Amino acid sequence: MPSKATYHHGNLKPALIAAALKEISREGPEGFSLRGVARRAGVSAPAVYRHFADKDALLAAVAAECQDRLGAEIAERMKKVAPNDPLEQFRAIGISIVTFAAANPEHYRAMSLPGVYGTGEASKHHDHVEQRAGVAAAIERGEISKLPADDVMLAATALVNGLAHLIIEGQLGDVSPERAEKLAIAATGVLGVGLIPRDEDVDDPQRGLAVKGRKKAR
């Protein structure tokens, strides 16, 4: 355990975040305590409050750190994807999220807690707007099926986060990160098929279903 003299004022905050990540890995995002973080970091409890007003503030900082780590994994996977292939880029993001969740379940839970993800420090790392803009541009260029960008984002988010939660809650058995990657590739592949532009693309998804129904009836 580090001594209290180990840290200068400027580097205690990142040390507390690192300690919180370890505590959350062991206790979960709802079970860890600021006292436990202080003990792990080798400082007094009041020292924690000099940097974080409360547990939620520390959780927001942890969520931001996890977003950075996830972002690095996404960037690494995106290097293997052609820059002119929006569907594969979209899938790469989803696969990275699922594999990150499988390898870091408690950190993923911390990122997903209501009132933490998308607020405070974590909001600075939230790239939903950028992703949506990319999807909208791909739709405009005819590279993705002509559907509302918000609907595409909702479907992708529901699929990816749903799969991630199934894995970390043990509903699919004991899933290794390698197995999680295969599941994510399969699931996002199905989503990708649904986003391939068709000859009779329509703006209204319900009308699109009707068009397909008429084709089958012929």
Note the pLDDT tens digit of each residue in 40-84: 999 999 999 999 999 999 999 999 899 889 989 999 998 998 887
User: 27 lies in a domain?
Assistant: yes
User: 58 lies in a domain?
Assistant: no
Per-residue pLDDT reduced to its tens digit, 108-119: 988 887 766 555
Number of domains in the chain: 2
CATH code at position 24? 1.10.10
Q: Which domain holds residue 142?
A: 65-217
86 close to 145: Cβ distance less than 8 angstroms:
no
One-letter amino acid of 137: A
- Looking at the fold, whether 117 and 187 belong to one and the same domain comes out as yes
| 111 CB burial (10 A radius; 0-12, 13-18, 19+) | buried
Distance CA 22, CA 1 (A): 13
Q: Tokens for 89? A: 């880029």
- Looking at the fold, whether 171 and 125 belong to one and the same domain comes out as yes
Q: What mean pLDDT comes out for the span 88-104?
A: 91
Backbone φ/ψ region at 202: left (φ over 0), alpha (ψ -120 to 50), beta: beta
102, 127, 73: which is closest to 184 by C-alpha?
102
Distance CA 192, CA 200 (A): 17
User: 106 lies in a domain?
Assistant: yes
User: 2 lies in a domain?
Assistant: no
- Looking at the fold, whether 85 and 154 belong to one and the same domain comes out as yes
pTM of the model: 0.77
CATH code at position 184? 1.10.357.10
- Looking at the fold, whether 147 and 210 belong to one and the same domain comes out as yes
User: 57 lies in a domain?
Assistant: no
Give me the chain's average pLDDT, please.
80
One-letter amino acid of 178: E
Per-residue pLDDT reduced to its tens digit, 131-182: 777 788 888 888 788 888 888 888 888 999 999 999 999 999 999 989 999 9
